[in-house]
């Protein structure tokens, strides 16, 4: 079990990571500040914790990953969080992305498909004092009971934009979602101008683990 200790070495490594993210084009002050505050190494197994401030994705068990810091920074910048925004995250994983949203003042609902990860992360975020609502289930269907959401972030690669998620987005809201095949996805930012008018902006390619479930990929297909 990793000790929750944030030493001056960790803080220095975190500042270097922030400098790297700035060099890579991340300019959103709120995102950089939250990522400089939240110790990413807390979200790692002790065997991998020494790598926590490399700009890379790492395994978190159950065949899943904690996203690369650049990816977290890129998606969160596109979401353009304002304090008080009601946000739905699909794919809680380690809880790191949810923690960043929480530190930026969002009211976060996060849903995870994998029961083991859901339970582990629920306990862990509670221990860290990160107060978000965690749900277990198929996030490709969204959370109709809690809709509408000001912002939706999907942290797994989707084959298409699930219509259910677009329905659950508030007018004026934004959804950031990687869409493509199982290996590579294009980052999309969808702004709901009105119930019938969606502005779609496309960004670079990324490589996420697949979004499973009814509006995602079939877990047994490859």
**CB-wise, 16 or 218, nearer to ligand SAM?**
218
- Strand 133-136 with 107-112, pairing: parallel
Catalytic residue among 67, 94, 110, 140: 67
**CB-wise, 39 or 216, nearer to ligand SAM?**
216
Calculate ∠ Cα 119-93-46, nearest 5°.
85
**CB-wise, 178 or 194, nearer to ligand SAM?**
178
Q: What dihedral angle (degrees, nearest 10) is formed by the CA atoms of 42, 102, 132, 152? A: -110
Q: H helices of 26-180, where?
A: 29-37, 69-79, 96-103, 115-128, 163-167
The CB-nearest residue to ligand SAM is: 91
CB of 136 to ligand SAM, least distance (A): 9
| Phi/psi of residue 37, nearest 5 degrees | -90, -45
**Residue 30, token pair as written in the block:** 């709120």
**CB-wise, 172 or 203, nearer to ligand SAM?**
203
CB of 208 to ligand SAM, least distance (A): 6
C-alpha–C-alpha distance, residues 98 and 115, integer Å: 17
CB of 62 to ligand SAM, least distance (A): 7
* C-alpha closest to that of 201 among 96, 21, 34, 80: 80
Would residue 194 show up in a list of annotated catalytic residues for this protein? no
CB of 101 to ligand SAM, least distance (A): 10
CB proximity list for 213: less than 8 A, separation 6 or greater: 113, 138, 139, 140, 141
Task: Kindly state the DSSP code that residue 222 receives in the 8-state scheme.
Answer: -
Number of Cβ atoms within 10 Å of the Cβ of 180: 18
148 by Cβ neighbours in 10 Å (0-12 / 13-18 / 19+) ranks as middle
**CB-wise, 106 or 199, nearer to ligand SAM?**
106
Residues of the shown chain interacting with ligand SAM in the complex, contacts defined by CB under 6 A: 64-67, 90-91, 93-94, 96-97, 111-114, 117, 138-140, 155-156, 208-209, 211-213, 216
CB of 154 to ligand SAM, least distance (A): 8
Residues designated catalytic: 67
């Amino acid at each position: 079990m990793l000790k929750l200790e944030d030493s001056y070495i960790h803080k220095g490594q975190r500042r270097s990571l922030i400098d790297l993210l700035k060099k890579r084009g991340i300019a959103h002050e709120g995102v950089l500040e939250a990522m400089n505050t939240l110790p990413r190494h807390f979200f790692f197994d002790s065997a991998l914790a020494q790598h926590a401030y490399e700009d890379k994705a790492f395994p978190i068990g159950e065949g899943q990953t904690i996203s690369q810091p650049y990816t977290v920074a890129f998606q969160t910048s596109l979401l353009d969080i304002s304090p008080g925004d009601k946000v739905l995250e699909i794919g809680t994983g380690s809880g790191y992305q949810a923690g960043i949203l929480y530190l930026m003042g969002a009211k976060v609902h996060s849903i995870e498909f994998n029961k083991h990860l859901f339970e582990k992360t629920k306990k862990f975020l509670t221990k860290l004092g990160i107060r978000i609502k965690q749900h277990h289930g198929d996030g490709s269907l969204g959370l109709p009971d809690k809709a509408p959401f000001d912002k939706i972030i999907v942290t797994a690669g989707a084959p298409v934009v699930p219509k259910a998620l677009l329905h659950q987005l508030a007018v004026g809201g934004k959804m950031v979602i990687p869409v493509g095949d199982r290996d590579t996805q294009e980052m999309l930012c969808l702004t709901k101008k009105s119930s019938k008018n969606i502005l779609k902006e496309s960004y670079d390619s990324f490589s996420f683990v697949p979004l499973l479930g009814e509006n995602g990929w079939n877990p047994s297909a490859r």
